Amino acid sequence: MTPGTVISPADGKIIYINQVEEDQIPIAVKKGKKIALSEFVGERIHFRGGIHIGIMMSYLDVHINRAPIGGVVKRLRRIPGSFHSLKHIDSLLKNERVFSIISNPDLTIGMVQIASRFVRRIVPFVKEGDQISQGDKFGVIKFGSQVDLIIPELEDMIVAVDVGDYVKSGISVIVRHKKLKSERSIISV
């Protein structure tokens, strides 16, 4: 584990980096449309400021997903759905997804694995309550798909990627930070 970093959970291309202001509902923006994150993850969550990053995996990428931080898997929820192309914004709400929350004493983040039209199943390698290390295998999605990260506002946070960058699972640093900016900047359900 590399202290003060959040690493990429997936091989793929950064498709968006959305700033989320204090007390706003996080949103996923794709092709100009907005979706409330609570609708996206299938349950009400509280998130008070930070960033929302989307990573698109092509069918050529390795589809093993890795833990972006070390900690305890606090939530692992499968949201049943269909398997449409992720080029259509409606697919983010219709397709099968797995929503996870990973927490350690310094940081709590959310991760959403999203199936695409060629995927028939997202297979988690962990369960709620498991202790994982940063970079551990977390699950697999086959062919084209997407993984989103929900990261709270952190002290001295530096987003180390830009839209269009290609990242490697378990290797590429997505965010560098010192610690949580405040106790209120966490994800909870």
For residue 185, being part of any structural domain is answered with no
CATH number of the domain at 38, please: 2.70.70.10
User: How many domains, in total, are found in the chain?
Assistant: 1
CA separation, residue 62 to residues 11, 66, 150 (Å): 6, 11, 22
Average pLDDT of the chain is 80
For residue 45, being part of any structural domain is answered with yes
Between 48 and 12, name the one with better pLDDT.
Answer: 12
The predicted model scores a pTM of 0.83
For residue 163, being part of any structural domain is answered with yes
For residue 188, being part of any structural domain is answered with no
For residue 186, being part of any structural domain is answered with no
Query: Is 37 strand, coil or helix?
Result: helix
CA–CA separation, 138 vs 153, rounded Å? Answer: 24
8-26 pLDDT tens trace: 999 999 988 887 765 455 5
Domain of 57 in residue numbering reads as: 5-180
- Quick check: 159 pLDDT over 80? yes
145 is catalytic: yes
- Quick check: 48 pLDDT over 80? no
Of 8, 100, 116, 145, which residue is the catalytic one?
A: 145
90-123 pLDDT tens trace: 656 666 788 999 999 988 998 988 877 666 678 8
For residue 92, being part of any structural domain is answered with yes
For residue 54, being part of any structural domain is answered with yes
